[in-house]
Structure 1
Amino acid sequence: MATIEHLTQRTPQVSVDELLDGFYPSHRFGSVSFESYRPDPHQPSQAAAVKALRHFATTVNAPKPSGLRKLFGSKRQESRAGIYLDGGFGVGKTHLLASLWHASSGRKAFGTFVEYTNLVGALSFRKTVDALSGYQLVCIDEFELDDPGDTVLMSRLMRELADAGVKLAATSNTLPGSLGEGRFAAVDFQREIQVLADQFDTVRIDGEDYRHRGLPEAPPPLTEQQVRHRVRSYDDGFTVAEDSFADLIKHLSGVHPSRYRQLIDGVDVVAWHNVATITEQAVALRFVVLADRLYDKDVPILASGAPLSELFTQEMMGGGYMKKYYRAVSRLTALARQAEEPIT
């Protein structure tokens, strides 16, 4: 039988170095490259994006100027500080961003917008700037504009990193249907980051938005008996984290979101008993981070109680953070469907 643990009994203690070491592409994009990206021949902007990112990688790999080169300028300084990938869902932006990370040498970081804001929350703004200023490249996936405070925070962080000579790369993430294309347009990004806007090259990636059809239907929840049976049906070598949903929600409030990656470290499957709709915004936003970390690590979900499609209230699904909740439901649904398949 599998090893059964409880996330509610885990309180990871993570050092600054360990937090920073977690900023790399998830295993879904752990071995991608520009060569493994397959541009659609009917969408020439996709091949053009690969070419632009290959060139940008050469500027990342160039040494930072120092001494007289720093004082009087260099080719590196002539290149833009950042590159922004603008396009709809499913056109391969994250694949290309991860490919840039893999193609770049030196110290580099890859994380989502939320992971960087959580890092600032864990370390403080100044310590985050100091820690990342020595990097060659910082990649920000799923740049979000739904929280003005976080947007200002990230704009300030990016500005200070750019001033330190760090190269920046970002992608966008919005709901299907937003602004008619399932994304926020480059002009929105440029307006929000203001001072940095003229330091970014915008690369448009066209293609079919494969998520335009909306959320996939969530599988029906399991019964309590089915969850218990499935948990105990896994073979030796698997680790299942089994928790009461209510207890898990309470426990998450005492674990900083920057540590959720370590919270689920070594877990092969999670099992939640009596899932219920989350009614508090702060609780819901924390849970979104957990959903992202579970999705990053491809951890299947067994759950009883309310369907995952009802995890957040209707007000949340239509409010200012709606894209976060839609993304979370979509990802949790995929992981729940994955649990229906045998794990190998």
Structure 2
Amino acid sequence: MPLSLCERHPAVPVDRLVAEMVPPPRFEGARFTTYLPDPAQPSQSAAVRALEGFAASVAAAPRPAAGGSGNGGGVLRRLLRRGPAAPTGPRGVYLDGGYGVGKTHLLASLWHAVPGPKAFGTFVELTNLVGALGFQQAIRALAGHRLLCIDEFELDDPGDTVLVSTLLDRLVAEGVFLAATSNTLPGKLGEGRFAAADFLREIQGLSAHFHTLRIDGEDYRHRGLPEAPAPLPDAAVTAAAGRLPGAALDDFPALLEHLTKVHPSRYGALLDGVEAVCLRGVRAVPDQATALRLVVLADRMYDRELPVVASGVPFDQVFSEEMLRGGYRKKYLRAVSRLVALARDGAASGV
């Protein structure tokens, strides 16, 4: 009997949120030596060399004091009262490039190359962690780390801008090194999403923490690969769910509705024990909020390498042309790229 994601209501304890700040299963084996630069894109090889040097610098630096400010006193109280000490220069590296050029692979390789304690998470997971722990406790949880890696760095609203700017200021002052990936240059974060000019000080402060490495290239998932497989009939998807071990079977519209009832920080837990995702009736998403939830779910499925078998419209049609022209264009293109890759995996499973 297939599983149903719509019947799951996961509860995730806070300590799990902290403990799971590691690269996702897809990137457990990621190393600089396993990254395959495109010979036509010299910036990719240059990025590997720069990150190897950065990893050596992080490893050689004194480790920040464990727990940062201890039990809410000392340095933390001084920082919250007077603000962080001004850093002498960028303490982070920022990987900028289009989707599918291997930025997450390189970020995970950096994480593996640096001794702990260290943390790795997407931007959404980081903001969810702060929401779960509270600001001061989040600082204490992360301040003793050598390195914080932030994947898919984006600022979608003014609250995130102020929150993350302040958080990273504090962590840099505590001695934490930073690394991030994004499809947007740090000085351009928030453009097209809200009145970024009103938060220019915070955005410029974020940018000052990073040295930017540009990584050019085309989406590796599309290099010489076929187009997205054609969707199957509903009956074939149902039959595939019965044959694939650990498969979840859901109607796409019902799943989108269910996602409104599950916090995005729990989408990973929603997929616990799932080995394949079967979806009937894939269709274009109706609005921006639904689309952004689907992006997070697609990221979590991709992290876990879950093949997808689906009926309905192809995944390159789930976001409207209007959405693809808007401020979240790069998020949606990344989601399409990943969903198509997972659909190929589903087709390769022999269903």
TM-score (norm 1): 0.81
- 1:51 maps to 2:65: no
Tell me the alpha carbon deviations over residues 197-233 of structure 1, each in whole angstroms, 9 at most, x when there is no partner.
333223344x433479899844332211111121122
SS in 2 for 1:271: strand
1:74 is aligned to none
- 1:63 maps to 2:73: no
Tell me the alpha carbon deviations over residues 260-294 of structure 1, each in whole angstroms, 9 at most, x when there is no partner.
11110111111122223221322221121101100
Instruction: Find the partner of 1:284 among 286, 291, 310.
Output: 291
2:340 is aligned to 333
Paired residues of 2:309 and 2:346 also in contact (CA < 8 A):
yes
Distance 1:40 1:108, change over 3 A: same
2:205 is aligned to 195
Distance 1:306 1:343, change over 3 A: closer
Distance 1:279 1:97, change over 3 A: same
Cα distance in 2 for residues equivalent to 1:118 and 1:336: 28
Q: Give the partner amino acid of 2:153.
A: F
- 1:165 maps to 2:172: no
- 1:241 maps to 2:234: no
Q: Give the partner amino acid of 2:249.
A: E
Q: Comparing 143-152 with 98-107, which one deviates more in the overlay?
A: 143-152
Instruction: Find the partner of 1:319 among 306, 326, 341.
Output: 326
Paired residues of 1:316 and 1:322 also in contact (CA < 8 A):
yes
Distance 1:60 1:343, change over 3 A: farther
Paired residues of 1:19 and 1:259 also in contact (CA < 8 A):
no
2:69 is aligned to none
Q: Comparing 184-193 with 162-171, which one deviates more in the overlay?
A: 184-193
2:164 is aligned to 154
Cα distance in 2 for residues equivalent to 1:335 and 1:40: 22
Determine what percentage of the aligned residue pairs are the same residue. Answer: 53
Cα distance in 1 for residues equivalent to 2:235 and 2:141: 48
RMSD: 3.2
Distance 1:117 1:274, change over 3 A: same
Paired residues of 1:216 and 1:330 also in contact (CA < 8 A):
no
2:259 is aligned to 252
1:240 Cα offset (Å): 0.8
Q: Give the partner amino acid of 1:310.
A: Q
- 1:125 maps to 2:135: yes
Q: Equivalences for 1:84-123 in 2 at 5 Å?
A: 84-123=94-133
Q: Give the partner amino acid of 2:289.
A: A
- 1:208 maps to 2:206: no
Paired residues of 2:38 and 2:217 also in contact (CA < 8 A):
no
Q: Comparing 325-334 with 87-96, which one deviates more in the overlay?
A: 87-96
Structure 1: tracts of 5 or more residues without a match? 72-76, 174-183
Cα distance in 2 for residues equivalent to 1:343 and 1:160: 51
1:187 Cα offset (Å): 4.9
1:326 Cα offset (Å): 1.8
Paired residues of 2:5 and 2:271 also in contact (CA < 8 A):
yes
Paired residues of 2:282 and 2:313 also in contact (CA < 8 A):
yes
Distance 1:130 1:211, change over 3 A: same
Instruction: Find the partner of 1:16 among 3, 14, 19.
Output: 14
Cα distance in 1 for residues equivalent to 2:206 and 2:331: 25
Paired residues of 2:102 and 2:220 also in contact (CA < 8 A):
no
Q: Give the partner amino acid of 2:21.
A: F
Distance 1:223 1:99, change over 3 A: same
Q: Give the partner amino acid of 1:52.
A: A
Distance 1:40 1:271, change over 3 A: closer
Cα distance in 2 for residues equivalent to 1:260 and 1:213: 26
Paired residues of 2:101 and 2:220 also in contact (CA < 8 A):
no
Tell me the alpha carbon deviations over residues 284-322 of structure 1, each in whole angstroms, 9 at most, x when there is no partner.
211211011001111111222333233233322222212
Cα distance in 1 for residues equivalent to 2:322 and 2:11: 35
SS in 2 for 1:302: strand
